[in-house]
Structures are given as C-alpha cells and as structure tokens.
Structure 1
Amino acid sequence: MTSGVPYAEVIGDPVGHSKSPLIHNFWLAKLGITGVYRTCHVAPEELQAYLEHRREDPVWTGCNLTIPHKIAALALVDEIDQSAADIGAANCIVPKNGKLVAFNTDGSGVDAAIPGVHNSVCIIGAGGAARAAIPTLDVMCALDIRVVARDPIKARHALSSLPYDLAFYPFAEAAEAMRNVDGIINASPLGMTGQWPMPDNILAALETVAPDAYVFDMVYSPLKTGLLQKAEAIGLTAVDGLIMLVGQAGGAFKLFFGEPAPREHDAELRGLLTA
C-alpha cells in the first residue's frame, strides 16, 4: 500500500514486463502531480478479491488491465462505459462515486499505430486486444478483416458479439489468411518475452502479403519481435507496440489522475522506453 499518496497500477499475469509505470510516472513528474503508478501481479483467481480490496482504498485511483483480465473484469465491475461495452473488453477500471467503472482506451492506441486506411487486414489472436483493434479497423474502412487463431472455432465464439463480418483461419492456413492483405496486426502474446514465439509458418506467411503492407505488433517486450524482424527483412513497414502503448496510456492517465497526459514530451519518453 502507498499510504496517503494517490496511486494507480497495471495488473496482469504476467505483469513484470510492463512499461506502463515508466510512462505514467514520467508524465506525473512532468506535470508535478503527487502520485505514483506501479505494477501489481494478479492471477486470474485473484481478480475479484483484488477489486474488492482496492474498492475500499481511498487513495487508489484505478488500474490498467492486461493479459488475462480484459474480458473477465467486465463481470466484476458496477458500470461499463460505452468505450468498453463497444469492444466487450476493458483495459481500465476507475473508482467513481463508490462504484467501479470499466473503460477501454486501447482503440485510441490502435488508431495511433496503424499507418493509414487499408482495405484488408489480418489479425493474429482473438482476445481482448483483438476486440479493441477490430472496431477501429472498421471505422478506418477495413472491409476485409481476417483472424488467424490457434482454434478458429473458439476465436469465432470469442468475437461473436462484435457486429462485423470476420473470416477465421487456423495457424496452419496463415499463408492463405495473409495473402495480399494490406496489414498484419499481432494482437496475441506470441513473441512476447516469456511467452511462446511466433510460429515459423506465420513468419513465413508474411511473404504472401501485399508488397506495401504494414506489420503492427502490439507486443513491446521485446521491442523488435520476431514478427517485426521478419517484416523489416522483407521490406514491409514495421510498427512496434510502443506506439499503441503510449497512445492508450494517454487516455488512461486522464482517467486516473484527472489531467491530460503531456504528449509534447513523447520523443523524450520514447527515448527512455527504448534505452
């Protein structure tokens, strides 16, 4: 507990890799706000108890949610903001007037990371991060959205509440799913430090995308994932996960600490994040 000092935190399992504390504490220092942002490891079976405990803490200003809590948390809050309802997942929980309210700022992060409007996109993964990306892609006029998942049947069920016409492919058919698409988005933990690497056949399938396609990896630890290394090696536009991370953090910071994030310092912040 951080006695008397307002604090927010990021919770997940795992969570030690998170760069969110660096981002939020950097902004707090720039603005001269008294507060702190930290990590807190919360296993799935601990989530309900964690929220019940934090609800009673008067200096807790909220939390970010990462794997695997973004969907499960919706059943444990008192209110769901439209930003989270539209996606069906939350990346922030904030206490308001004695209630816990779920929000989602991931969409703004995705919007910041995707380089322009493209017609066809292939998403790897079908969890909370994918749910955040798909509505943003629809707004950006991506008419052909394909999802590659380890289990396409489970993926279809997981994304069934979203009002979009999606095509689903197993990992074994990644080359077909990626053929001639304008963009690839990794919305899974594959390639993240401590997680399974991106399967070789998915890396090989990058050879089938449109020659001017972008590859956006939401993973930011490591910054240069195997997927992005492969993309750069074959001349595709590679977009790392820090762009989305900082973008979504800006919205969360305002919810937690009541002030807009000082984004005029983004270049300095990125230098710290990549040091």
Structure 2
Amino acid sequence: MDEIKKFTVIGNPIGHSLSPMIHKEFAKQQGINIQYKMIEPESEGHFETHTQSFFSKKGYGANITIPFKELAFDFANDHDSSAIECQCANTLISENGKIKAYNTDGEGFIKDLRNKNINLIDKKVLVLGAGGSASSIINSLSKIDISQIDILSRTQQRVDRLIDKYKASSNISIYKENSEYDLIVNTTPVSMNNNEIKFPSSIFNNSSISYDLFYSKTTTSFQNWSENNNVAKSYNGIGMLIEQAALSYNIWNNYEPNTNTLEKILGF
C-alpha cells in the first residue's frame, strides 16, 4: 500500500483557507488519498520552525500564503525559475533531500483572467500593494504585451524594490496621481482585515475591471468599494486560488486537475 502523501498550507490568518478542500477534490479526481492540514505560525519569526517541523515529519508539499511567501523563498535550498523571477514562493516540495521552491501565483492569476476572457493587450494595469503576491503578479503581467503596469503602496521602500527588481521592463513604474486604469489588482489584505480603503477613487473609470486577490462567497470590501466607484466589473480571487492550486498540485503529483467545476463545488 502506497504511503499517503502529507501536504499543508502555511499562513496567518489561515482559518478561512479553502486550500485543503481544493486539494482533496483534486486528489479525488486523481483517485488517490492525501493528507492536507493547515499551519498558522504566530509570526514571521516562527515560520521556519513550523515549516522545518512539517518537512522533518515526512511532509511532502506545502502551499504558502500571506505573509510568508518571501520567507518561503529563503527557506528553500533549491529554486525553480518561477520563484527566482519574483523572489518569493507559494509552493514548496521535498524531493531528493532538498526543499524546492516554486511560484504558481502569477500563472494562476493569468489563467483566471483568460478564463474570464479579460484581454490585457495594450491595456494599463495598476497593482495595489508591493509584497510577495504583488511581485508574482507583476512578474507574470510583465510577460504580456501590456501598455503600462503601475504600482501603488503605502510602503515606498517596497515599491522601489519592485521597480528595481523589474527594471528591465520599461513599462513598470510608480503610480502617478489622477491616472486611470483598465485593470486594478488588489494584492493587499484590506478585504481580509476589513480596513478602511484609502486608495484614490480616480484610478477607476466606467470601463475599469477590479480584481481582489482575497476571496469570499459574498462580495469583498474591495469589490464593494470599486463597484461604488462605478467599475464595469469586479472579481474576487477564488478563480486564481483554484488555478494556482491546480498548478501546485501538478508539481507535487504529476497530475493536471480539471478546474472547471471547482467554484461550484466550493459553493461560489
């Protein structure tokens, strides 16, 4: 009898995560049994201890979410190009005595945009936030023929670091006041924390699309805010969550899951 593979998702907060349900559904498609649990380190200082403990107990793969993606990149001792390009990781795998880091966020995001028939050719995009998720999104967007990618964050040092990281792409720059965008992507935890939204409403016009990486069965606070500012359409991140999970699952199990029915199965 084959040993049941052990997986986890590591983040804080993590109680809302749908990752265990998604990966167990993928395993059902493949016809295998897996163990998938949640780990919530108290702080960034506890990440390494929890992650090391998981892998030392025959853990096979880990998904990494807010706020540990950059730490996960540093934790790994082998790195796929997808993680190297954005210097952060959302997927770890134990193989050949090493922990290898991947990043499927950006590709999962682009897949979901395509599923929604959102065309970005020659369009202007604003990324809100400058953390690990923003980096992976910008990395994938930079490979598409987009007119402009701007970054807006209250942490100027992080913005400068991202601009420097992608300095080879001449169309990536800092947000300029009163600019309007075709797509606005929120990578901040503002919806998760239900904080007051302080971004300028001038970023929208009546043909703009807003996309919140946070997901909820009801509209998120960022979606509500963007709809109150007359965007054409708003989305939350459930589609991206499913697509990045499918890519992670394929890395771990060499099996490409069908994602078409997952939103319905999850109740979205």
TM-score tier after normalising by the smaller chain length: 0.7 to 0.9
Q: Which residue of 2 aligns with 1:105?
A: 104
Q: Which residue of 1 aligns with 2:240?
A: 244
Q: Which residue of 2 aligns with 1:126?
A: 130
Q: Does 1:161 align with 2:165?
A: yes
1:259-274 equivalence runs, <5 A: 259-263=255-259, 266-267=260-261, 269-274=262-267
Contact 2:216–2:236 (Cα < 8 Å) also in 1: no
1:76-87 equivalence runs, <5 A: 76-87=75-86
1:1-275 equivalence runs, <5 A: 5-42=4-41, 43-58=43-58, 60-114=59-113, 115-118=118-121, 119-163=123-167, 164-165=169-170, 166-169=172-175, 176=177, 179-192=179-192, 195-199=193-197, 201-202=198-199, 205=201, 208-221=203-216, 223-233=218-228, 234-263=230-259, 266-267=260-261, 269-274=262-267
CA distance in 2, matches of 1:38, 1:159: 36
RMSD: 2.1
CA distance in 2, matches of 1:90, 1:78: 12
Cα offset, 1:208, TM superposition: 4.5
Paired residue secondary structure (1:71): helix
Cα offset, 1:198, TM superposition: 4.7
TM-score, normalization: structure 1?
A: 0.85
Contact 2:204–2:231 (Cα < 8 Å) also in 1: no
Closer, same or farther: CA 140–93 of 1 in aligned 2, 3 Å: same
Closer, same or farther: CA 138–157 of 1 in aligned 2, 3 Å: closer
Paired residue secondary structure (1:38): strand
Contact 1:113–1:216 (Cα < 8 Å) also in 2: no
Query: What one-letter code is carried by the residue in structure 2 that aligns with 1:143?
Result: S
Paired residue secondary structure (2:215): coil
TM-score, normalization: structure 2?
A: 0.87
Cα offset, 1:15, TM superposition: 1.0
CA distance in 1, matches of 2:140, 2:188: 17
Paired residue secondary structure (2:69): coil
Q: Which moved more, 1:243-252 or 1:154-163?
A: 154-163
Paired residue secondary structure (1:48): helix
CA distance in 1, matches of 2:258, 2:35: 16
CA distance in 2, matches of 1:151, 1:52: 30
Paired residue secondary structure (1:160): helix
Task: Give the ranges of 4+ consecutive aligned residues of structure 1 lying more than 4 Å apart after TM superposition.
Answer: none
Paired residue secondary structure (2:82): helix
Cα offset, 1:121, TM superposition: 0.7
Query: What one-letter code is carried by the residue in structure 2 that aligns with 1:116?
Result: N
Cα offset, 1:243, TM superposition: 0.9
Paired residue secondary structure (2:28): helix
Closer, same or farther: CA 61–161 of 1 in aligned 2, 3 Å: same
Closer, same or farther: CA 230–75 of 1 in aligned 2, 3 Å: closer
Percentage of matched positions with identical amino acids:
25
Q: Which moved more, 1:110-119 or 1:183-192?
A: 110-119
